Structure 1
Amino acid sequence: MSKNLKNISTVAGATVVSRVLGLVREIAITAVFGTGALASAYTSAFTLPNLFRRLLGEGALTAAFVPTLAHELEHRQRPAAFALVNKVISWLLLVTCGVVALAMLSLFGISAGLQTSGGVQSVSDTVQRWVLGADLAVILFPYMIVVCLAAAFSAACQVLGRFTEPAWSPVWLNLAILASLGLGGWWAWGDRERMHLLCAGVLTGGFLQMAVPAWVLWQEGWRPAFDLRSDDRVREIARLMGPTVIGSAVYLVNMAVSRFLGLSLNESAAMVLNLATRVMELPIGIFTAAIATVVFPLIARHAAKSDWVQLGADYHKGLRLVLVINVPAGVGLALLSEPVTRLLFERGAFTAGDTRIMTPILAACALGLPFLSFTTVALRGFYALKDTVTPVRAAMLSFVVNVVGSILLMRWFSTMGLALAGNLAVLAQGWYLQRKLAQRLPALGFAPVLPSLGKILLASLLMGVAVWGGAWALGRVTLPARLHDVLVVSALIPLAVAVYAGLLWLLKIEGREELAGLLRRVRDRKT
């Protein structure tokens, strides 16, 4: 147990560092490039290799590779496990190189075709942004190769009990990007040259993400070999990846659709949506992912024993926890979206005008935070039941809602319409998942959570009133703008937490006794 807790704390600590560095990275990018056409083109271009990375690498491959490799290690020892690693990375290298070559040729052709259809200067601003995005995507697509291999190496390290190095993998990417931005600023190049240096930083970071876990495997006794021979284990991994790839594809295509519609809409939309997503990733990446990570194995064990009553109880605890955290987080972030945006991003090329554009987008995205967190836990319910088909159907519904909603709403609300469409898509996905769960197992119905949800909504509403009142009062104080924002954020967030926690305690939120017992045990240990 102590070893597991140590591994969990290692991964959680590295995740916090990675998320914070990722936010710092976006702050630095906006300080250098603002939210103009060049920054939006970079964001859209980087979405493409990231989409394929998650399809072929981190999500689907890890889910299929880890149990298969663990079985091989348990029954046939390390030589057979390392042989499977070589087969997987050989096939992965072949597939990713093919995808990257095809994508680069296609993007190069699109860019050349647009530029020769009358010259870039004579076409619309939208077409120019697409040309710029295609040019940057050609440079960035090789990142997919190294980061997919990094996912395979990291998964193998985890099976061998080496968690520290893979957990820090995203940190190397963020540090490489920050170093490239610093180098570009030091040499004071033009924006185009700085952007190319930023792309070089992405590729360098991707190489480090691959090289570090590969070096760990080398220390464990692995030696690389190119091996395309197929066997039952390779075919099993391919079979297990299928449904996960489809489900992930729909979610990631959703993200890509929003970015590229934004690129067509105006020069700042894609970058602003990306920044809002990055801010939201802090509560999602730290709290929701941690809760889902703990709940998933619990409900999976209950499902294996057909203990539906306990499965429902732990599933409802997971839902209650994510709602307890993310409903007030969404309300608070929406109310404080302007000072948060100004404090985090308004410097360098990111101007007060950019803050005015981003503030309502961040507020809209923040209100979707509870739906996204709810969906994360609901998906674990299906995975525990070994149902990978229903999540694919839910993802397809989400995709249709997002595309139709984006096309309709962007006409009336511009970039805000894209954010609202994303919220509607996640809401539809979560509703569908929960409805199907309840139909399959009545013990997983949403009714047991409703009393808690009512208390959470009431406490969040009253907390929001307190935050609004505090912001109004602080607004009457004459202070320098930066000091005012620091004071608002540093004073109102603790106030919001205290008010919300006190209200939940007074409302006797479910699980209060368990928390009180935990606090008593912690106090007794200290004494």
Structure 2
Amino acid sequence: MFSFTKNTITQLLSNNTKWLEKQQTSINSAAAVIAMANILSILSGFIRTRVILSYFNEETVTAWTLAFQIPDMLFQLLVFGTLSASFIPIFLSVKRKNDEQTAFKMSSIVLNILMLIFAIASVIIYFYAEPLTLARVGDKLSSEQLSIVINLTKTMLLAQIFFTVSNVMTGILQSYKRFIVPSIAPIIYNFGIIAGVAIFHKTFGIYSAGIGVVFGALMHIIVQVPLAFKLGYKPTFSLNINFPGVKKLFLLSPARFLTIGVSHVQTLALGYFATSIGQLSFLYISYATYLSVFPVRLFGVPLSQAALPFLSQQSGKENLEKFRDLILQSLNQISFLAMPTSVLLLILRVPIVRLAFGTDNFSWHSTITTGKILAILAISITAQAMVQLLIRGFHALKDTRTPLIISVIFTAFYLVGSFAVVNYTNFGILGLAVISCVSFLVELLMYIIIFNKFMPNFISKSLLVPQLKILSASFFMAIFLYLPFRIFDELIFNTTKTIELIALTLTTGTIGMLVYIYFAAIFEIKELKLVNKAIRSFGQKWKSDENRTQEFLIETSVDDDLV
């Protein structure tokens, strides 16, 4: 029976979909795949948001946004905290020490245990959804909004159970350096939500979006399962905690669990403080945050995800100098790509907000307020992107304690600052944005200082000189971006029309990027050559790998005593 099922699933991967199976054998190629898919995922996310805003008013969408918090926190704590940093090193270590089928069995047992824990936690959350919601929101929400938050929270718990399965599949595929399919899955998820809203909005109202979330999460699984089966994965119905690698995986989880838990304290606090300021304040800062994490998802996350197996390889040797050099090289690449994007968001904040969320249900006041928040958050974008890599650097060194300590300090700083802003100033939601921005900058500073203690000469010319050059090029970009933007906006383009708004954004954005590239060349920023080389060689490498059959798996540095 199982053999028939497996054969049926693997047949779904025909010769026409071989590109989905391609293995990425370097950080840049893997990061490029993830980044390209992230662009599509972000664009599909914008479409999803516009569809929801076009059907429902701002108050209802605020409630929809708040409803994600508890289900997402539960998933992040129980599932992502277990899998995010430890799964790939341990999976490959079990595979190396034993065999491939043992590694697959380990992953299946981990999935079974996570599913059991998550199911129990979901039942508890379901019955206590109302008191949990009342405890985490301020006094500015209406009774109707509260009802929507509670009911959608219950609905979306089912989606997170599906995500538990799909994230184990993601870990398996990324262990084999198959990044394409896991990167496509979030796009399918977004279109699942869009389909749910488009089909059921007249019948179920905003709850149609909840139906879409469940459907999209199911598709998130379906798109990854065929390749996982083709690689050799077989489900095993066992809860054997003593199986090789299983116990070690869960023993490594508490520190990561606490780190994510601390970060979600900040997320919940943001919801509480924002809903204490105004009925729509949480919507404004959520949408601004959504835009501000675009460069983080586009550059910071892909490079960091792709770097983890390679960092693990270097950390397992008696040569931390290569590890340090790899960290520094990746940091400079992230900064080179993220900083100009943050400048674009800073200067072009209003047209970007209008293009992303400008429906009839999103007012001009909402656009301006969201744009102001985005401008503040844009200052910290590069810091957020760089932190993604530094966190994984510590994980590659099998150190989860340091990120936890930094997260505690970071969150404490944020909580104290937010409490002071809300209760003792009139800065409102802009004050919360300032606190968030400063907190991210402080977090980056702490990571760099501590990394320098682990690795002498980490803070050196190799880090400071490229960062100074990138900052200088970004400064000139900002100047030459702002001037044509003001001129074109007032004298040439009629930005009340969507087409001309797009033309204004593309024209001025292109000018800004060309100026950035020009000054990057003037300052001889090495990362410009690396990016240019990566772009030129990516297509050639893609074609040259078409007929390659030899696997190029980079072993991790996980010690044998891990399993």
Which category of TM-score, normalised to the shorter sequence, fits these structures? 0.7 to 0.9
Alpha-carbon distance change, 512 to 425 in structure 1, aligned in 2, over 3 angstroms: closer
Instruction: Choose from 58, 61, 82 the match for 1:60.
Output: 82
TM (normalized to structure 1)?
A: 0.87
Pair 279,89 (structure 1): closer, same or farther in 2 beyond 3 Å:
same
> Does residue 290 in structure 1 map to residue 311 in structure 2?
no
State whether residues 140 and 277 of structure 2, in contact with CA within 8 Å, keep that contact through their aligned partners in structure 1: no
Q: Which stretch of the first structure deviates more once superposed, 424-433 or 444-453?
A: 444-453
1:453 correspondence with 2:459: no
Instruction: Between 12-21 and 46-55, report the one with greater CA deviation.
Output: 12-21
Distance between the aligned counterparts of 2:392 and 2:344, measured in 1?
A: 27
In 2, the alpha carbon distance for the partners of 1:520 and 1:320 equals: 20
The equivalent residue for 1:153 is 169
Distance 1:67 1:315 in 2: 18
In structure 2, give the amino acid aligned to 1:140.
M
Q: CA deviation at 1:220?
A: 5.5
Equivalent position of 2:557 in the other structure: none
Q: Give the match for residue 346 of structure 2.
A: 334
Provide the rounded CA distance (Å) in 1 between the counterparts of 2:420 and 2:375. Answer: 20
Of residues 426, 444, 448, the one that matches 1:412 is: 426
Q: Is the 8 A contact 2:77 2:257 kept in 1?
A: yes
Other-structure match for 2:246: 234
Structure 1 residues 55-454: aligned runs within 5 Å: 55-109=77-131, 125=141, 129-159=145-175, 163-184=179-200, 187=202, 193-218=204-229, 222-232=233-243, 233-410=245-422, 411-445=425-459, 448-454=462-468
Unaligned runs of 5+ in 2: 1-21, 542-563
Residue of 42, 57, 65 corresponding to 1:19:
42
Contact 1:361 1:416 in 2 (8 A): yes
What does residue 483 of structure 2 align with? 469
Q: What SS does the corresponding residue of 1:4 show, helix, strand or coil?
A: coil
Partner of 2:25: 4
Say which structure, 1 or 2, has more relative contact order (CA 8 Å, 6+ apart): 2
Q: Deviations over 1:485-505 (max 9, x none)?
A: 222201111100111111122
Distance 1:35 1:327, change over 3 A: same
Q: Could you say what the CA RMSD is over the residues aligned between the two structures, in angstroms?
A: 3.2
- Describe the shift of the 1:111–1:69 C-alpha distance in structure 2 as closer, same or farther (beyond 3 A): closer
CA distance in 2, matches of 1:474, 1:54: 44
| Distance change >3 Å, CA 358–CA 310, structure 1 → 2 | same
Residue 119 of structure 1 corresponds to none
For residue 457 of structure 1, report the CA deviation from its aligned partner: 2.5
> Matched residue of 2:205: which SS?
helix
Match of 1:41 among 59, 63, 70: 63
With 380-389 and 468-477 compared, the bigger mean Cα shift is at 380-389
Shift of 1:216: 4.4
Deviation, 1:208, is: 2.0
Using the TM superposition, name which of 466-475 and 52-61 deviates more.
52-61
**How big is the shift at 1:230?**
2.2
Partner of 2:171: helix, strand, or coil?
helix
- AA partner of residue 98 (structure 1): I
Q: Distance in 1 between matches of 2:100 and 2:255?
A: 29
Q: Residues 418, 520 of structure 1: CA spacing in aligned structure 2 closer, same or farther, 3 A cutoff?
A: closer
2:511 and 2:483 map into 1 onto residues whose CA distance is 11
Which secondary structure state, in structure 2, belongs to the residue aligned with residue 168 of structure 1? helix
| Distance of aligned partners of 1:229 and 1:445 in 2 relative to their CA distance in 1, 3 Å threshold | same
Structure-2 change in CA distance of 1:132 and 1:262 (3 Å): farther
Please, what TM-score do these two structures have when normalized by structure 2? 0.82
Amino acid at match of 1:428: V
1:201 deviates by 0.7
For 2:58, give the aligned amino acid. T
Identity %: 19
